[in-house]
């Protein structure tokens, strides 16, 4: 029987997982190869070496089920891990639902989100290879602030291209990066050929993650080998690092003597959703369980629900390798919604494969419905979620209300990947009635997809 007493489920430091879980051996079919942007032939480790340290490249292509977490990384993880699992009892009561709702809370990290789970190991492996500078991009700033924190811990210089709309919407996220010692530029900028090309076409461009990636990759490519690139989502090794979330949640659900019928996570590039879901997907496939997995994304950037499953560039100007993923088109520019961390044209190749194979579901939501859900969550559970995390909250609410309508019990687990303390301008816009919903026109999506590379 489920635990009827406790609200919070905690693990000791000794119970924290010592390995990351790799979903690749449990996929329904092998992943598609990554292709060189020029030759369109499969890339090898040597092709990626200018961008990443070899340890991360080997993780990117690994077929091992588990990969050891270095002791130095685990020592830093212990500042906030294991993170708590909560039973949302007050939310359940407010909804008058027979569903049992659990959420894994990643907002307890120093940077306030799940992103340090991969920022710390990425900084560690770069340090091991003698790298002194890392260049990256960020949307809402959760990734940028996490890498800035990790860079400070390992003595590595961090330079960040922050999507311009979020640079302006979220000044304190920018200040947080600078407080950790990072330099931050609004993207598109005039510092790179990529940025100047975009500004020549549209001087008022609000930017996108694809553009910011182009700028960061160009800066690394022209650094003369003095810098490496780092990414906060999408790639296999990034999703791998986040699986510590789901592995802990498996242990904590056992503490609660319960098990999810449905696992929900928000999706932009895929790191949060993968972190909570991949270990449960592995369990479901090995044990023949009927667990459902729901990826919640913004209606204004709906890569899973409206994208095509095809090879595309990870950046706007076509500088990165080609990966097979659900994509809206690499030069797709989404509206300036407040969930800046989800404004990406593509989805992780691993998550895209699982969606194409029917292992996971996807739902898209308007941003006003996200803030409505977040306010209810804040009033009942006391935590104001980040706009990105609110997509998972909304997905969980829908599941709980459906259980109520059907009069059936349902166990729901979702990942609350970060708090919204740096996003109060977005809450202010919603509360003052200034927040608008955007649904990107189908013809604009089709036009962007028509400009994709032919493979």
Mean pLDDT of 151-176: 94
163 part of a folded domain: no
Query: Is residue 445 pLDDT above 80, yes or no?
Result: no
Which tokens sit at 294? 């729901």
d(CA 103, CA 110): 19
pLDDT at 338: 62
Evaluate the omega torsion of the peptide bond into residue 416 and state whether it is cis, within 30 degrees of 0. Answer: no
Into how many domains does the chain fold?
1
Q: Is residue 360 part of a domain?
A: yes
Whole-model pTM: value is 0.95
What band does 232 get if pLDDT is binned at 50, 70 and 90?
Answer: very high
pLDDT value of residue 118? 98
- pLDDT of 376 reads 98
Residue 181 domain flag: no
In this predicted structure, the answer to whether residue 319 has a pLDDT above a threshold of 90 is no
329/401: higher pLDDT? 401
Domain annotation covers residue 406: yes
> Looking at the predicted structure, is the pLDDT value of residue 440 above 80?
no
Sort strands 157-163 and 100-105 into parallel, antiparallel or unpaired.
unpaired
User: Is residue 218 one of the residues assigned to a domain?
Assistant: no
Partnered with residue 67 across adjacent β-strands are: 20
Token pair for 133: 């500078």
CATH of the domain at 412: 3.40.50.1100
Residues 6+ apart with CB under 8 A from 270: 233, 234, 239, 347, 348, 350, 351
pLDDT tens sequence across 406-419? 999 999 999 999 99
Is 298 strand, coil or helix? strand
* 135 belongs to a structural domain: no
pLDDT of residue 452: 79
Q: What is the domain extent for residue 94?
A: 8-17+67-112+236-450
Q: Which residue has the tokens 């709309």?
A: 165
Q: Which of 233-237, 298-302, 352-356 has the lowest mean pLDDT?
A: 298-302
256 — pLDDT class (breaks 50, 70, 90): very high
Asked if residue 160 is part of any domain, the answer here is no
Average pLDDT, rounded, for the chain: 93
Band of the pLDDT at 442, cuts 50, 70, 90?
confident
73-122 per-position pLDDT tens digit: 999 999 999 999 999 999 999 999 999 999 999 999 999 999 999 999 99
Q: What is the pLDDT of residues 14-72, one digit of tens each?
A: 999 999 999 999 999 999 999 998 899 999 888 999 999 999 999 999 999 999 999 99
Question: What is the arithmetic mean of pLDDT over 152-179?
Answer: 94
| Residue 177 placed within a domain | no
């Amino acid at each position: 029987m489920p635990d009827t007493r406790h609200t919070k489920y905690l693990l000791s430091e000794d119970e924290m997982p010592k390995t990351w879980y790799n979903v690749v051996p449990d996929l329904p079919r092998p992943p598609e190869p990554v292709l060189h942007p020029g030759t369109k032939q499969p890339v090898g480790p040597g092709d990626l070496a200018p961008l990443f340290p070899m340890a991360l490249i080997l993780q990117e292509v690994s077929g091992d089920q588990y990969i050891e977490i270095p002791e130095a990384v685990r020592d830093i993880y212990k500042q906030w891990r294991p993170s708590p699992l909560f039973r949302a009892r007050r939310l359940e009561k407010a909804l008058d639902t027979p569903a049992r709702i659990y959420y894994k809370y990643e907002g307890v990290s120093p940077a306030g989100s799940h992103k340090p789970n991969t920022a710390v190991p990425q900084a560690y492996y770069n340090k091991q290879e003698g790298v002194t500078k890392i260049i990256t991009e960020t949307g809402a700033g959760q990734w940028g602030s996490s890498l800035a924190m990790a860079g400070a811990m390992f003595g590595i210089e961090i330079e960040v291209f922050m999507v311009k709309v979020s640079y302006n919407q979220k000044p304190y996220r920018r200040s947080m990066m600078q407080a950790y010692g990072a330099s931050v530029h609004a993207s598109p900028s005039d510092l790179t050929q990529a940025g100047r090309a975009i500004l020549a076409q549209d001087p008022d461009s609000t930017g996108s993650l694809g553009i910011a990636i182009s700028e960061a990759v160009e800066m690394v490519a022209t650094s003369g080998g003095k810098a490496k690139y780092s990414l906060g989502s999408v790639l296999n090794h990034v999703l791998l690092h986040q699986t510590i979330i789901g592995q802990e949640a498996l242990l904590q659900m056992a503490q609660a003597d319960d098990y999810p019928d449905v696992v929900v996570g928000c999706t932009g590039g895929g790191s949060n959703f993968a972190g909570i879901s991949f270990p449960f997907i592995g369990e479901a496939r090995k044990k023949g369980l009927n667990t459902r997995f729901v990826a919640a994304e913004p209606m204004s950037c709906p890569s899973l629900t409206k994208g095509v499953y095809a090879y595309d560039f990870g950046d706007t100007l076509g500088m990165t390798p080609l990966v097979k993923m659900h994509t809206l088109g690499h030069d797709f520019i989404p509206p300036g919604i407040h969930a800046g961390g989800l404004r990406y044209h593509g989805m992780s190749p691993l998550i895209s494969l699982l969606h194409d194979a029917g292992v996971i579901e996807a739902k898209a939501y308007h941003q006003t419905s996200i803030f409505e859900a977040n306010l209810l969550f804040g009033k009942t559970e006391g935590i104001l979620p980040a706009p990105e995390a609110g997509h998972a909250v909304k997905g969980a609410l829908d599941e709980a209300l459906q259980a109520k309508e059907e009069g059936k019990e349902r166990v729901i687990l979702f990942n609350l990947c970060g708090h919204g303390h740096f996003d109060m301008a977005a809450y202010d816009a919603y509360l003052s009635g200034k927040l608008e919903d955007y649904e990107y026109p189908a013809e604009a999506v089709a036009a962007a997809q028509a400009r994709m590379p032919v493979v």
